[in-house]
Amino acid sequence: MSRIGKKPVAIPSGVTATIADGQLSVKGPKGTLAMDLVDEVTYTVEDDSVSVQPVSNSKRSRSFWGMQRTLVQNLMTGVTEGYTKVLEISGVGYRAQAQGKTLKLQLGFSHDVDFAVPEGIEIKTPDNTTVEISGIDKQKVGQVAAEIRRWRKPEPYKGKGIKYRGEYIFRKEGKKK
């Protein structure tokens, strides 16, 4: 039995959930999200919750059970609150600036990196060493944060680079004389 899968997902007030054509659509104050349904589990929408149950007792059905329930929960959270990831840039001369639908990064290369912001994602730079990525789709927010971080991962000697807020960088000792 999946401990996560057993719990029904509560539908907050102001949110509607419908199942049609093999998709679960969730509409809320921040927007609309849809998810393709898998055949290994059954989804039932009651008036105040969505429950997920495995079709059979096979290993594959039980494997999908908890994950699908979590994906439904992510849809509900996305359309009500949204998701945010914060990146911190450290290093001499490293900075970021949001300009409309592009993020201009100066990361020690001979050129500036212009990152095109995808549809449905909003990027803010409160100061030139902090980048806030927000949106309603958890997967898309995390993917954009990972793509920006990939330009300059934090290195272990000085800690220079782009890191997630709260991430611990394992530091190494430098050369000894």
Is the fold of 3-80 the same as that of 83-164?
A: yes
d(CA 91, CA 85): 20
Segment 118-135 shows an average pLDDT of 95
Residues in the chain: 177
**With 80 as the cut, is the pLDDT of residue 1 above it?**
no
Q: What is the pTM of this model?
A: 0.89
Q: Which residues contact 173 (CB under 8 A, 6 or more apart)?
A: none
Question: Cα separations (Å) of 71 from 13, 151, 170, 176?
Answer: 19, 29, 31, 50
Backbone angles phi, psi at 27, to 5 degrees: -120, 130
Q: How do the domains of the chain map onto residue ranges?
A: 3-80, 83-164
**pLDDT tops 90 at residue 43:** yes
CATH code at 83-164: 3.90.930.12
pLDDT band at 2 (very low <50, low <70, confident <90, very high): confident
**Domain 3-80 of CATH type 3.90.930.12:** yes
